[in-house]
Amino acid sequence: MRITFAPFLVDLPESAIIEISDLCEFLDVQKVEEISAKQFQYVDALFQSAEIFHSNCKKVVITDTKTKFPENFGYEILRLDVDPSTPNYSRILAYIQFLKQLKKETHVIFPDTDVLFNSNLEQLFENDFDVAMPFRHQHLNMPIICSLMIVHGQKIKEAIRFFETLLNIYEKKYSHFLTWWGDQTSLRDIIDLEKRLDPKMIQKLKTDSMAVVQQDSFRLLLLENEVWNFSPPKEFDENATFPEKKVLHFLGYLRKQNLLSYFENHIKK
């Protein structure tokens, strides 16, 4: 089955930039603006890395109704009626709308724009799951990062219900974090604490790099974060490579400085 890669990208209004810089001690307004200015370059590298390992994949950017794209932007754009001033909340809403409008059967991968693919991911879909996501068992406060959400193509309806449940948690408990953090705290709450701490599950993550968890009516595939969402050191030698890591996440301002050069030197070749 074909895989569709669909990152969410919007132009952040000034209000969102200020709020993000206030909430993130490692980001100031200037850094947020600098990251935003390079989003299209990041997306291009992301899509190229996806295509290197998945030659028949589909690539589409999900956005709002007003974000401006470069004239030479060569990828499909899907515009949805979402609010760019609440990017984390709007992203979940956009995922739901995207899945509902699918007309052909496809697996779907929702990556952050600062992600590079370092391997073929087709083996994941041999597992029986609704939604897969990286899991950090060392971080109880925010064990799941929304940088890589994966939907099995045979479980689209189940995935829609999952994201609708996630959205409901977000609206009820974390409506004061619509711009930042609220998606991760909502994802934390969707999985029972007992299951997050289950030593058998954690051991399976360590040995197999993945583990299936049944949560209510959802079948979730948790992925070992250090393999499937690996963040390189903030500073590393330009010749360093990470071939054993399936997905690279250039999280944070300092890591993003190396994203484009790493792609050019070690993935694109």
- Is 59:74 a contact under the CB 8 Å cutoff? no
Confidence (pLDDT) at 141: 83
Helix (H) / strand (E) element for 164: namely helix 156-173
Confidence (pLDDT) at 26: 58
Which domains are assigned to the chain? 3-128+149-193+234-268 (3.90.550)
Confidence (pLDDT) at 192: 87
Confidence (pLDDT) at 55: 95
Confidence (pLDDT) at 24: 66
Confidence (pLDDT) at 70: 93
Please give the angle made by the CA atoms of 192, 195 and 200, to the nearest 5 degrees: 175
H, E, C per residue of 127-150 = CCCCEEEEECCCCCCCCCCCCEEE
Helix (H) / strand (E) element for 152: namely none
Confidence (pLDDT) at 138: 84
pTM: 0.94
- Is 2:57 a contact under the CB 8 Å cutoff? yes
Confidence (pLDDT) at 23: 61
Distance CA 134, CA 222 (A): 6
Instruction: List, for the chain, all residue ranges whose pLDDT scores fall below the cut of 50.
Output: none
